Amino acid sequence: MNPSSTGWIKKLLNELQKSDLTLHVDQDIFYDSLRDCGFIYGTNLDVVLKVFPKKDLTEEEICKINLVLALYFVHKNRKTEQPFVENVIDFYEHINEIKTSFFQDLLSDKKSNEQLEKIIHKRIQIDPNILTKNFNYFVINALLYVDILAYAEFLKNSRISEDYIKKLEATIVAITLNVLTSKEVKNQYDASLIKLFESSLRYHDNADLEYKKAILHIKTPQEKHYILDLACMATWSDQMIDSKEQLFIEKLGYDLDLNPSRINESIKTVHQFYTLNKDHIALLSSKNVVQSFYNNSSKMVHKLISRNSKRLYQEMKDSKELMVLISQSTIRDLSKEEQKKVQEQLLDIFKSIPSLAIFLLPGGALLLPLVVKFIPKLLPSAFDENRIDD
């Protein structure tokens, strides 16, 4: 099976149906296997449950397989009458209506294995010419399990509400922010990332989403396990978990009503995964995770904005309020209300520029403050009255 060529999903499903694999474990065991192979952490180093031999598959190919297997597992356990492929495509059509036009060019065809292959490829790869490998794994693929949670919700109600996705994304950001701020010693990248997270909470009212409110949004065991594991991953950003971070993780697990053994297992597992696989994870090869994330995301946003600067400038000209606010951001800090207006108007613009659709995907909210940072430098000089040419 070659996930980089046409026909791989049909072959995968055929093999699954013949051997009836992935159906004889409960949800907790399947989730733990997704975590052990790296899917939950955004770094896929093996196939879940070792259903298929890894052989010479690339990390992207393993990620594709794991995403389809996870969706397939949810579908089988929900006992939905609609065939798997058609049902998953229906799910992404609903996501498309809620989130973005990202898959728009792929959702007009007849539902087929080939169509789903294209959707999965675009969901994993995004755009290899735009995203750096490190950023792709750390942000986009670490949040792929959001698709699985949303798909389970979709099967439960035959639809997926915008409110569910908004609350889940805001909860992930809010709790991760709490993890970062719990560190005993923060370097410049920690401080920058904390500020980035604080500016990225777009799915709430003017007041910040508080920790206690975020906890209330987490209902199912799978959501609880996922949030806890993401928090553990965030604590390991400097390749260690200090005492304050440990206390925060333990409190988080307690607030989620999880067994102490589960909390300790999550801490132990993230440590083992990154320690054993540090030589195989590019993100950990030289810098800490936080520094790599901040650097790679900055480069990627700079490239995206520069490539689309002409059209972006034209779109922004039609929004006088946005132009004024961004010009003001070059000389003063915007208020939270003004930041929210900028983010909302930028998102509306991004919907009309396909290559900027990444900002509308899960995790894309983290990049919006960087957009504001780079736009004044990339737009025509007349836009920034305070700009001094070198």
- Domain assignments of the chain as residue spans, ordered by start: 8-157, 162-278, 308-383
Task: Work out the pLDDT band at 226, boundaries 50, 70, 90.
Answer: very high
DSSP tag of 139: I
* pLDDT one-digit tens code per residue, 295-349: 667 777 887 888 788 888 888 877 878 888 877 777 777 787 887 788 788 888 8
Q: Which of 75-84, 138-147, 224-233, 261-270 has the lowest mean pLDDT?
A: 138-147
pLDDT of residue 136: 40
- Torsion 52-149-97-173 (CA) sign: negative
pLDDT value at 388 more than 50:
no
pLDDT of residue 210: 79
CB-based contacts of 288, cutoff 8 Å, min separation 6: 189, 237, 238, 239
Chain mean pLDDT for the chain: 77
- Torsion 313-317-322-323 (CA) sign: positive
pTM: 0.72
Q: Which of 64-78, 210-224, 269-283, 376-390 has the lowest mean pLDDT?
A: 376-390
Domain 162-278: assigned CATH number:
1.10.3680
Alpha helix (H) ranges present in 207-285?
Answer: 211-216, 221-235, 243-255, 260-277
Cα–Cα–Cα angle for 22, 28, 30, rounded to 5 degrees:
25
Alpha helix (H) ranges present in 45-161?
Answer: 59-78, 84-99, 113-125, 133-135, 145-157
pLDDT value at 213 more than 80:
yes
- Token couple for 121: 């490829």
pLDDT of residue 74: 93
User: How many angstroms separate the CA atoms of 375 and 311, rounded?
Assistant: 12
User: How many angstroms separate the CA atoms of 241 and 49, rounded?
Assistant: 28
The mean pLDDT of 159-182, rounded to a whole number, is: 80
Residue whose entry in the numeric block shows the structure tokens 């699954």: 16
* pLDDT one-digit tens code per residue, 78-136: 878 899 999 999 898 887 654 545 555 555 566 788 889 988 887 776 544 433 343 34
How many other CB atoms are found less than 10 A from the CB of residue 268?
A: 11
Of all residues in the chain, the percent with pLDDT exceeding 70 is: 73
